[in-house]
Amino acid sequence: MGVVARTGAPDRHSELLAQQTTDMPPIDYAAIAPVLIVLVAACLGVLIEAFVHRRQRWIAQVVLSLLAVILAGAQVLRHAREINTGGTTLSDTVAVGPATLFLWGTLLALALGAILLIADRSIEPGGAFVAETNPEASRRPADAPGAASAEVMNRATASVAGMRTEVFPLTLFSLGGMMVFCAANDLLTMFVALEVLSLPLYLLCGLAKRRRLLSQEAAVKYFLLGAFASAFFLYGLALLYGYAGSVKFSDIADATAGSLRSDTLLFAGLGLVIMGLLFKGSVGPFHLWTPDVYHGAPTAVTGFMAACTKVAAFGGMLRLLHVAFDASSWEWHWVLWTVAVLSMVIGVVSGLTQRDVKRMIAYSSIAHAGFLMVGAITLTERGLSATLFYLFAYGFTTLAVFGIIGLVRTSEGEATHLSDWAGLAKRSPLLATVFTFLLLALAGIPATSGFMGKFVVFSAAFSAGMGPLVVIALLASALAAFLYLRLIVLMFFNDPAPDGPTVSVPGAFTTAAITLGVVVTLLFGLAPQLALDWASVGGFVS
């Protein structure tokens, strides 16, 4: 009997092992390859920080980051040509379809430009994230013996060894979280992705070289308000789980389509979850963090945050509304209708009172978030493709805008006060002309991608029967144009101050990032069909 027991035990173990192997869910590695490439590169970036000498870290991190984004983009394009309807993987927690691939491609292209801005070290020694190379020398009085030579030594070594190269893996981790956020197929995965994309951004906002206290204050405000938003999202997740008995989008959709459960849990849960998403998308009145963080964060980080975070936030919101809450749209439609109007009004009215360029663009982004909400609540295929195109167009224009803002400088750093931009066209006609073109794109002037984005979104909303909202959006867009025209008039029709700021000669990385944004803004303003065709291939899958 003992022999039988000993020989039977391995057989039983083999049966259990075979059963576990059979029950293990299949993983489509090809579908999630872009996300895996970005996250693996981020982990390798951490190892570079730990084991590579300081003098070699910058070039290693730049090459790794750019290579990861390019390879991930190539995987997205390859998969986009092969995919038909899409599917789910990782136990149905991630869904990859045509709309998700469009969002991934947009995020990766914007991240490429943002990494180029972050990597530039030509505008100031060591770049915008350089650490203090000699604290004792920095505290030495200017007329003290050896102070001048210490300053020269600091400047010489800053460009080689002073840059805080941890910004690159942090950027990649945030990018990976954004990609998962757009593809999440349940609320729990979406929450985890929300934290992965947010936590690195909190750190990146506090890493400015100049105006260090302002940068750290912005990071603390972003962190505290972000924590509240995450708590709202998590509490809403719990209420929706209590309502539907599941956190999967498909199960929530089935429950809202026909259920005798209490609608109180549904309304409260949906409101709290949407509140967290509206915070990330800088939608008024959940925008309080936006002006301070845009103003205090390093400009390259602001560009990355303004472009990519908005794409991720609205990508997640579109997926949630189209997949999980389409059947219950009559319950939340008018609430988000009101939110869209409030966001437009807050962005335009508050933007008119600003005297700082970065804060003005921050309020401009709040107004644009209202325009995007018009497309988000248009639950049609046309509305989805139009909103995706708007995100694509707005992201590249905004990235180039912040690239140019970082070039106008005084002896104390960036010149962001509006008075500093007076007569800029006389100092640098080329930069003023390019900046004017980008501002006109944000205003929605024809022959720019901004005009086409607003046109397709407003057309889709009007076709869906939201004529009054479209009229309000058109009026807000017309008033918002004054934000940009005021700055254009200041640059071209005012005289520069004798001690005004100078325009730095951009390095190769900054030039490439600005050129990318300008070319995309012009190209898809004149020929938008390529991006619209891709955005119209299909919707979200679940």
Q: Using 50, 70 and 90 to split pLDDT, how confident is the model at 345?
A: very high
- How crowded is residue 437: how many other Cβ atoms within 10 Å of its Cβ? 18
Q: Could you tell me the sign of the dihedral formed by the alpha carbons of 172, 174, 178, 183, in that order?
A: positive
pLDDT of residue 163: 66
For residue 386, give the 3-state DSSP assignment: helix
Q: Using 50, 70 and 90 to split pLDDT, how confident is the model at 188?
A: very high
pLDDT of residue 212: 73
pLDDT of residue 222: 92
Within a domain: 151 = no
Is residue 5's pLDDT more than 50? no
Residue entry with tokens 């506090």: 206
Mean pLDDT (the chain) is: 85
pLDDT of residue 146: 46
Tell me if 344 sits within 8 A of 476, measured CB to CB: yes
Tell me if 340 sits within 8 A of 353, measured CB to CB: no
Within a domain: 139 = no
Consecutive H or E run containing 96: strand 94-96
For residues 229-248, give the mean pLDDT.
Answer: 91
For residues 336-341, give the mean pLDDT.
Answer: 92
pLDDT of residue 306: 92
pLDDT of residue 145: 47
For residues 54-65, give the mean pLDDT.
Answer: 92
Higher per-residue confidence, 445 vs 155: 445
pLDDT of residue 25: 73
For residues 11-26, give the mean pLDDT.
Answer: 58
Is residue 529's pLDDT more than 50? yes
**Rg of the chain's alpha carbons, rounded to an integer?**
25
Distance between CA atoms of 94 and 89, rounded to whole angstroms? 6
- Percent of the residues in the chain that have a pLDDT greater than 70, as a whole number: 87
For residues 102-130, give the mean pLDDT.
Answer: 86
Tell me if 372 sits within 8 A of 391, measured CB to CB: yes
User: pLDDT for 293-323, tens place per residue?
Assistant: 998 888 899 999 999 999 999 999 999 999 8
pLDDT of residue 34: 94
Burial label for 136, CB within 10 Å (0-12, 13-18, 19+), is exposed
For residues 414-425, give the mean pLDDT.
Answer: 85
Is residue 215's pLDDT more than 60? yes
Distance between CA atoms of 132 and 154, rounded to whole angstroms? 8
Within a domain: 6 = no
User: pLDDT for 356-377, tens place per residue?
Assistant: 899 999 999 999 999 999 999 9
Distance between CA atoms of 185 and 179, rounded to whole angstroms? 12
Consecutive H or E run containing 233: helix 212-244
Phi, psi of 455 (to 5 degrees): -60, -50
Distance between CA atoms of 378 and 458, rounded to whole angstroms? 10
Higher per-residue confidence, 423 vs 126: 423
> In the structure encoding, which two tokens stand for residue 492, read together?
């071209």
For residue 284, give the 3-state DSSP assignment: coil
Is residue 105's pLDDT more than 70? yes
Give the predicted TM-score (pTM) of the model: 0.89
pLDDT of residue 7: 44
Within a domain: 250 = yes
Phi, psi of 413 (to 5 degrees): 130, -145
494 DSSP β-pair partners: none
Within a domain: 541 = no
pLDDT of residue 380: 87
pLDDT of residue 158: 43
pLDDT of residue 19: 52
How would you classify residue 202: left for phi > 0, otherwise alpha for psi between -120 and 50, otherwise beta? Answer: alpha
Distance between CA atoms of 402 and 295, rounded to whole angstroms? 11
Within a domain: 239 = yes
Within a domain: 487 = yes
Strands (E), 122-229: none
Within a domain: 339 = yes
pLDDT of residue 39: 96
pLDDT of residue 387: 93
DSSP per position, 155-216: HHHIIIIIB-TTHHHHHHHHHHHHHHHHHB-BHHHHHHHHHHHHHHHHHHHT--SSSHHHHH
> In the structure encoding, which two tokens stand for residue 168, read together?
């690159």
Most confident of 104-108, 142-146, 268-272: 104-108
Where is average pLDDT lowest: 121-135, 173-187, 328-342?
121-135
Is residue 392's pLDDT more than 90? yes
Q: Which residues span the domain enclosing 514?
A: 30-133+160-534
For residues 332-346, give the mean pLDDT.
Answer: 91
Distance between CA atoms of 247 and 266, rounded to whole angstroms? 12
| Number of domains, the chain | 1
Consecutive H or E run containing 383: helix 381-405
Tell me if 120 sits within 8 A of 507, measured CB to CB: yes
User: pLDDT for 122-160, tens place per residue?
Assistant: 877 666 776 544 444 434 444 444 444 444 434 444 444
User: pLDDT for 272-301, tens place per residue?
Assistant: 999 999 998 889 888 888 999 998 888 899
